[in-house]
Structure 1
Amino acid sequence: MKKIKVGILTMSDGRDYLHQEYEQINMEYQEDIKEALEGTGLFEVVAGNQPINSNEAAKREAKKLEEAGVEATIFNYTIWCYPQYTAVAQNFAPGPYLLFCNLHPSECGMVGMMAAAGTLEQLDVKFKKLWGSVKEPEVLDKMTAFLKAAAAVKRLRGMTFGNFGGRPLGMYTAVANLEQWQKEFGIDVENVEQDDIIRAGEKAADEKVEHAFAWLSELTGKIEYDGEGLTPEKLKQQIRSYYGLRDIISKRGLDFIGIKAHGDLTDRYVTMDLAEALLNDPYDFDGPKEPIVAATESDMDGALTMQIFKLLTGMPVLFADVRHYDKENDVWFFSNSGTHATYFAGASMDPGENLKNVTLYPETHYYPAGGASVHHFAKEGEVTLARLARKNGKYSMTIVPARIVQFDKEKMAEMGNTTTPAWPVAFTRIQVPADEFIEKFPCNHIHGVYGNYVEELKLAAELLNMDIQILQ
């Protein structure tokens, strides 16, 4: 993932003799923050050249951050400092803003931070406060979480969502308001005809298709050809659809996409399951790549949820239906025919480690055009699940800390066969009773990544002025 560019400005006292007395300690604290952040490998830090002790200095140093293109700014307070400098600096230094102070009784950093915070509140400027030593892991973790969230929110702006085909199967929750997306997130929506996928795929070079077919044939655990729903020719057609999508995404400058598929491609061409899975993967037939969020059923709010996850983590994101609850084993079946990245079969950056656990089954009769369904059981591990939803036009974020679990292969196959045997499944345990989850979760699609990203999601939702619901 591209490093996050962070700015740091350290505030000082407006009385020159005190500014000079504390200049060295101010710069030492600033350097501690810079070193700690750069030590994570996640950040590129642009630090102020001097502690700010005048309005002129505040403007000058803040403009340097603006010119450098930082994605968030830390205002640093180690001593008492004039709050006006923060007020001036925020006119130029790019937000979101984190106000940070040291914790030491002989230094008035906390007083300086609280005075600056009160000033920004009067100006109705959004910010987050943090205090302590950046050398403490807990404090650094909180700082890192905020900066990840800030960058994710900032990076949404200027993005383009590719909407292939429009609303599927009558789902209101899959369609968002274009005007609202531009106003709240800075995202544009490009509508694309699904026939374009077919036309672009037909132009894929035969040698590339044959190479991809050989790659899948070698690495995939099983390919269950049946001579009708799944044939080598139909698998190659799915490969062409993937290359067609990559070509459209590149030429039209799309950052993330959704594909309707149902009723059109699934009836008369082939399903998009393989293409969607590989778009979301961190690799394809041609080597490592950045995951490209692709939501099946062209679910716009689902895709946006996934894109926020991707911007926070850089990792592949799960898309699934809330399919079934198994009382006996206390697990949810999160399953969908499309969009399950093969990454979830092994949680490895090595495609071979994941694909050996994948079976390409013939698609079900729901999709008469046929093709392969990308089947696997998601690898066990801690996950953070979430969903954006709207009520009366206002967005909220529902966050679900959870754990994907596995059983022995025979039992998982038996459990999977009770739903749709050809589809991938993430057997998942959540922290709230089933009745509460059903009551409070806002729609039929759920998304997530491995790891604990509850704090980052909360911070991103706060920065986007969303209500937050955590089911734990």
Structure 2
Amino acid sequence: MIRVGILSFSDGRERVHGSLKGYIEECADRIEKCLKDTKEVETFKALHIVCNNELARTQSIEVASKNPDVVILNVPVFAFPNFSAIAVSLQKVPCLAIAPVNGKMPGLGGLQAAVNMARQVGLRCEKVWGNIEDPKTITKVLSFLRAAHAATRLSGQIYGVFGGRSIGMGSGSVNPDIWMKVFGVDTEHIDQLEIIRRAENIQPEKVEHAFHWLQKNMGGIQYDKDKLTNESLKWQIRCYYATKEIIEDRKLNFVGVKCHYELSEYHVTQCLSASFFNDPYDWEGPKEPVVYSCEADSDGALTMQIMKLISNKPVLFFDFRHYDEKDKVFAFCNCGAMATWYSERSENALVNLKSTALCPIIPKYGGRGCHVRYIAKEGEMTFGRLTRCLDKYKFTMFRGNFKNMSIEKLDETCNVWPHGFVEVSVDSEVLIDRYENNHIHGVAGNYIDELKKFCEIKGIAYDIVE
């Protein structure tokens, strides 16, 4: 839930404030009701309407003490602008000023004056003019609240990176100092052997429960007596539990695991973990997705965590694999890190799993285990990625749609990997030119406005490819 504090502002003359108090309270109630009706937001209001300098200070401090993700400034009248500036100066979270449409009240002027004074002294404050009940207005407000929620919640989180740089991909390496400065995220380094050490000690009954659940519910398990056997699948289950233990013990919020090549070459691939950590369920029931990035792609993991915090949905990780000129689709695929939820987008895990198969890993990998194969169900998507040039980040983003394809289509790329076949509105060569990484990340729905607002809040450049 997005936690929102509401501060209301009035005229600084006691006599005038007395005549406005009822209307200001009514506007605050309207904001609170509409936000709660979305089921995405929990709200609380300051005890008093700000009508003098002292209340600007005390009420802002009171709201800040309740740890909001974002603060809304309710400015439905021409409140004294310095009150808003004082209040915003005491907040460490993003602020949004709102005024309703009412020609009988100078709310629009009050909104402009309040936000202008805050910005004049170097403070960030967004503004929306419109009736909160208007779909256009609530859409704007929610876009900002989701972005602010992501920016606030990201600060103070811990990223766990298992192993180092994978197969020479420097673009996935983490710079802990920059992450802490820009995003407020700390980095915990963990050796991949800790997964193997703990995997050996997982209770057999837990492994058997997960194994039989997969046997019963997957759309298919293509054992080959070599790469994918009962034993190798159980080892992947053990690795899942081991990684889960480490995340819980070290209080990690999101992770990246190297896998290539120590684990994929000499042990088992981590594809099962990459899928089910990113899913909203596993064999123990519903759960919160934990962002898990393949190949220790740290900027990929960070991108995914931002998308998750904005959308409250599972997020995908895959490669730019191919562009099919005939069908006009990109083939996005990767050996792991694709949540099975996207196979059918159902809230019923069993529906998704019936469209998903476990297949032997490709011969290129010397180890053993399964890939988690499916074709992503058709639907609207937002794609994007953080990239960095020296110490400057940029978020490249674009919209697309997954298209349904037959299983035979996988033979054109890799027929044991999960795929999304993506139709985009922009020319394929333009996208290839402007998108600056081999890895791509996506979330169901249209979240371009939220990602753009997130970048503005964090002072990051962005490029919307459209």
**Bucket of the pairwise TM-score, normalised by the shorter protein:** over 0.9
Residue aligning to 1:471: 465
Provide Cα deviations, 1:83-122, integer angstroms capped at 9, x if missing partner. 1111211233442010111122211111111111111112
Q: How does 1:362-441 map to 2 (within 5 A)?
A: 362-407=360-405, 412-441=406-435
Letter in 1 for 2:413: T
Q: Could you tell me how far apart the structure 1 residues matched to 2:349 and 2:109 are?
A: 53
Provide Cα deviations, 1:13-57, integer angstroms capped at 9, x if missing partner. 111111111110011011100111111111111112232110111
Q: 1:54 aligns with which of 49, 52, 67?
A: 52
Whether the aligned pair in 1 keeps the contact of 2:5 and 2:63 (CA below 8 Å) is yes
Q: State the TM-score, normalized to the length of structure 2.
A: 0.99
Q: Could you tell me how far apart the structure 2 residues matched to 1:24 and 1:357 are?
A: 56
Whether the aligned pair in 2 keeps the contact of 1:73 and 1:94 (CA below 8 Å) is no
Letter in 2 for 1:74: I
Provide Cα deviations, 1:311-333, integer angstroms capped at 9, x if missing partner. 01111101000000000000000
Q: 1:23 aligns with which of 17, 21, 24?
A: 21
Q: Could you tell me how far apart the structure 1 residues matched to 2:221 and 2:68 are?
A: 48
Residue aligning to 1:287: 285
Provide Cα deviations, 1:124-152, integer angstroms capped at 9, x if missing partner. 11121111100111101111111111010
Residue aligning to 2:229: 231
Whether the aligned pair in 1 keeps the contact of 2:398 and 2:464 (CA below 8 Å) is yes
Residue aligning to 2:204: 206
Out of 35-44 and 269-278, give the one that drifted further.
Answer: 35-44
Q: Could you tell me how far apart the structure 2 residues matched to 1:94 and 1:41 are?
A: 25
Q: Identity rate of aligned residues, in percent?
A: 38
Q: Could you tell me how far apart the structure 1 residues matched to 2:426 and 2:375 are?
A: 23
Out of 416-425 and 315-324, give the one that drifted further.
Answer: 416-425
Whether the aligned pair in 2 keeps the contact of 1:431 and 1:471 (CA below 8 Å) is no
Q: 2:253 aligns with which of 246, 250, 255?
A: 255
Q: State the TM-score, normalized to the length of structure 1.
A: 0.97
Letter in 1 for 2:123: V
Whether the aligned pair in 2 keeps the contact of 1:364 and 1:370 (CA below 8 Å) is no
Moved over 4 A (4+): none
Q: Could you tell me how far apart the structure 1 residues matched to 2:310 and 2:337 are?
A: 19
Shift of 1:60: 1.5
Residue aligning to 1:265: 263
Corresponding residue SS for 1:73: strand
Whether the aligned pair in 2 keeps the contact of 1:27 and 1:50 (CA below 8 Å) is no
Shift of 1:470: 1.0
Q: 2:101 aligns with which of 100, 103, 112?
A: 103
Whether the aligned pair in 1 keeps the contact of 2:89 and 2:123 (CA below 8 Å) is no
Whether the aligned pair in 2 keeps the contact of 1:76 and 1:99 (CA below 8 Å) is yes
Corresponding residue SS for 1:421: coil
Q: How does 1:55-454 map to 2 (within 5 A)?
A: 55-407=53-405, 412-454=406-448
Shift of 1:392: 3.5
Q: How many residues align?
A: 466
CA RMSD of aligned residues (A): 1.0
Structure 1 spans left out of the alignment, 5+ residues = none
Shift of 1:400: 1.1
Whether the aligned pair in 2 keeps the contact of 1:70 and 1:94 (CA below 8 Å) is no
Corresponding residue SS for 2:407: helix
Q: Could you tell me how far apart the structure 2 residues matched to 1:425 and 1:287 are?
A: 25
Letter in 2 for 1:65: V
Q: Could you tell me how far apart the structure 1 residues matched to 2:133 and 2:286 are?
A: 35
Q: Could you tell me how far apart the structure 1 residues matched to 2:22 and 2:185 are?
A: 44
Q: Could you tell me how far apart the structure 2 residues matched to 1:458 and 1:190 are?
A: 28
Q: Could you tell me how far apart the structure 2 residues matched to 1:324 and 1:284 are?
A: 31
Whether the aligned pair in 2 keeps the contact of 1:65 and 1:94 (CA below 8 Å) is no
Q: Could you tell me how far apart the structure 2 residues matched to 1:250 and 1:180 are?
A: 25
Whether the aligned pair in 1 keeps the contact of 2:128 and 2:141 (CA below 8 Å) is yes
Whether the aligned pair in 2 keeps the contact of 1:173 and 1:443 (CA below 8 Å) is yes
Whether the aligned pair in 1 keeps the contact of 2:99 and 2:107 (CA below 8 Å) is yes
Q: 1:34 aligns with which of 15, 32, 35?
A: 32
Letter in 1 for 2:455: A
